Amino acid sequence: MTIALHGSGISRGIAVGAAHIVQRNALDVLEYAVAQADVEPEVERLSAAVEEAKQGLRDLRGRIPANTPADIAAFLDTHLLMLEDPTLTDEPKRLLRERRCNAEWALKMQRDAIVSAFDLINDAYLRARRDDVDHVINRILRILLNHAPAKHESGEGSLEGLILVADDLTPADALLMQQHGIVGFVTECGGPTSHTAIIARSLGLPGVVGVPHARQYLLDGESLVLDGDEGVVLGDADARILTYYRARRDERQKRVSRLAKLKRAPAVTADGVPIELLANVELQTDFDLARAAGARGVGLYRTEFLYMNRLDVPSEAEHFALYKRLIEAFRQQPVTIRTLDLGADKQSGASLSARAHAANPALGMRAVRLGLKEPELSLPQLRAIVRASALGNVRLMIPMLSHVDEVVQMRGLIQGIQAEYAAQGISHDPNMPIGGMLEVPAAVAFADGFARTLDFLSIGTNDLIQYAVAIDRVNEEVSYLYDPLNPGVVRLIDMAIRHANAAACPIAMCGEMAGDPRYTRLLLGLGLRCFSVHPSLLLEVKQTITESQIAPLRKIVGRALRTAEIGRFRELMASLMARPV
């Protein structure tokens, strides 16, 4: 009988194949005392296991194929660095000597201490980094406990076409899976922001994570269907279901190759209106994806990741090195570097204010507010952006503006740096465009005022919706209200675009709404002419653009903006979403 299990779909796509169950989480750690004479040999045993774990990762790193995205190696490097970190390896030795406990016990105690420190942090991204600690310590524990490697680790036997089902997977596992021809994976643990999830997305492997007891419900060798779009796993699928999903998988593959043909095509509507299609990027893998999808530049470079997982403040040199890579990747195309947007859902160890737990963090000290309050956090970044402006077509973008005074203050900081560099003969572009994000309803209502002080605007719908509808974007209980088609939200977007157009200020949208092809016609009808979207969605949005005609869209959208009848509004939205007009 077919069973359906649910989790989080972390990378899109459908996989059909036989289940390969990996039973390996039975890490029963025996806790015992060692005699004084055995303490040093036990320390030696621990050191040897750490060395073996490092060697295993180094070997894997050496086998990464040349065409693998660059950031994937970086994830393995993170695990290697953790194996060099004294907190992880020296501290257990100290515990072992002090308490005369066995190596596994000492390691487990240290893991518990680190993990409980992570647990105190109420942040999904940082909690996911706790998984990295677990992965690294389990790697050492498995060596100490003489656990046989799983089949995909040892490379014995063919795993071609199988779907891996495991308790958890490390970034190293994700790489090995691709090398062995595994077509998808299911895990009991893990979340959408884990490094494994990021790697799976980069490799294009469909996966569903967070499926409790998957290995108890599913049987080794049975037919599985994995739907990474919906986060569903079907076990013991019958012939009818398999035929249905194979057809969907093949249809999807055909669609992907059809879309690939659009890469070089211009983004122009069917009635000849040119549209600017830019990319939202964060990791180096996104740079490659964006260029491969034919993006005409970067409309949003999120820089928060540089501040995460650390307690110190990133230096000007670190920022500059990253921006240089970004500019080199996009040559003379525009790249929009967003200044730090820390706080609320993006916590950093580097800032005391962001770390403090405010009752309403989304309404608290975040983004530009934090940058202005703690210049020691933002100045190295601003200095690096100003320097980087000499290298290409750099635009600086300020997040979460709520008052034009914030623009004035930011401009003051930037002009101070430019004057200093000019005096020192350090090259930079004194006319670097400075833009801002419209994410706060008050800023949208005063967009014409912002347009006078800024060179460009970009609508951040992810935050704009949360503030407009008064819901916390990470609170699942109210997520049903998070709706880009709330008529009030649609009117706010209209207001932002009209104000910007009236002030002749270029306006883009870089929130998720811009990358959802279901909303492309609505946005075209609202007058949006610049979309910044995740590279994986760029071609779908382009396809919709090329099939659309502006004039009829404007009429439908005009009616929707005028009506106060929710039924009528919904009908008009449905007609925009259903077909090209």
Cβ 232 to Mg ion shortest distance, Å: 30
Reduced to 3 states, what is the DSSP secondary structure of residue 183? coil
Which of 101, 189, 505, 510 is the catalytic position? Answer: 510
d(CA 300, CA 395): 10
d(CA 123, CA 128): 9
Closest CA to 9 of 159, 218, 199, 201: 201
Instruction: Select from ligand PEP, Mg ion, none the partner in contact with residue 197, using the beta carbon and a kind-dependent cut-off of 5 to 8 Å.
Output: none
| 3-state SS string for 72-84 | HHHHHHHHHHHHH
Which positions from 511 to 540 touch ligand PEP by CB under 6 A, shown as an x/- string? Answer: x-----------------------------
CB-CB neighbours of 82 under 10 Å = 18
Closest CA to 472 of 304, 360, 341: 360
Give the nearer residue to Mg ion in terms of CB position, either 225 or 459: 459
Which of 195, 319, 428, 499 is the catalytic position? Answer: 195
Closest CA to 396 of 438, 450, 440, 335: 335
- Binding segment toward ligand PEP, per CB under 6 A, in 95-103, 110-118, 228-236, 458-466: 458-466
What is the footprint of ligand PEP within residues 497-516 (CB under 6 A)? 510-511
d(CA 393, CA 390): 8
Give the nearer residue to ligand PEP in terms of CB position, either 227 or 304: 304
Give the nearer residue to ligand PEP in terms of CB position, either 339 or 461: 461
Number of residues that bind ligand PEP (CB under 6 A): 10
d(CA 171, CA 190): 12
Placement of tokens 């009635």 in the chain: 271
Q: Is 534 a catalytic residue?
A: no
Cβ 301 to ligand PEP shortest distance, Å: 11
Instruction: Select from ligand PEP, Mg ion, none the partner in contact with residue 302, using the beta carbon and a kind-dependent cut-off of 5 to 8 Å.
Output: ligand PEP
Instruction: Verify binding: residue 341, ligand PEP, rule CB under 6 A.
Output: yes
> What are the residues binding Mg ion (CB under 5 A)?
439, 460, 463
Q: Is 510 a catalytic residue?
A: yes
- Binding segment toward ligand PEP, per CB under 6 A, in 165-173, 197-205, 220-228, 461-469: 461-469
What is the footprint of ligand PEP within residues 268-307 (CB under 6 A)? 300, 302
DSSP states of 511-563: SGGGG-GGGHHHHHHTT--EEEE-HHHHHHHHHHHHH--HHHHHHHHHHHHH-
Give the nearer residue to ligand PEP in terms of CB position, either 269 or 336: 336
Instruction: Verify binding: residue 463, ligand PEP, rule CB under 6 A.
Output: yes
Give the nearer residue to ligand PEP in terms of CB position, either 142 or 302: 302
Instruction: Verify binding: residue 343, ligand PEP, rule CB under 6 A.
Output: no
Instruction: Verify binding: residue 461, ligand PEP, rule CB under 6 A.
Output: yes
Looking from the CA of 301 toward its CB, the CA atoms found within 13 Å total: 27
| 3-state SS string for 206-224 | CEEECCCCHHHHCCCCCEE
Number of alpha helices (DSSP H) and beta strands (DSSP E) in the chain: 24, 16
Give the nearer residue to ligand PEP in terms of CB position, either 389 or 458: 458
Give the nearer residue to ligand PEP in terms of CB position, either 188 or 439: 439
For 377, phi then psi, to 5°, come to -80, -40
Instruction: Select from ligand PEP, Mg ion, none the partner in contact with residue 289, using the beta carbon and a kind-dependent cut-off of 5 to 8 Å.
Output: none
Instruction: Select from ligand PEP, Mg ion, none the partner in contact with residue 511, using the beta carbon and a kind-dependent cut-off of 5 to 8 Å.
Output: ligand PEP
Instruction: Verify binding: residue 439, ligand PEP, rule CB under 6 A.
Output: yes
Copy the structure tokens of residue 235: 């076990």
The one among 68, 193, 333, 462 contacting ligand PEP by CB under 6 A: 462
* CA distance readout (Å), 273 to 144, 418, 536, 538, 563: 64, 38, 23, 17, 27
Question: Which residues are catalytically annotated?
Answer: 195, 510
Residues forming the site for ligand PEP (CB under 6 A): 300, 302, 341, 439, 460-463, 510-511
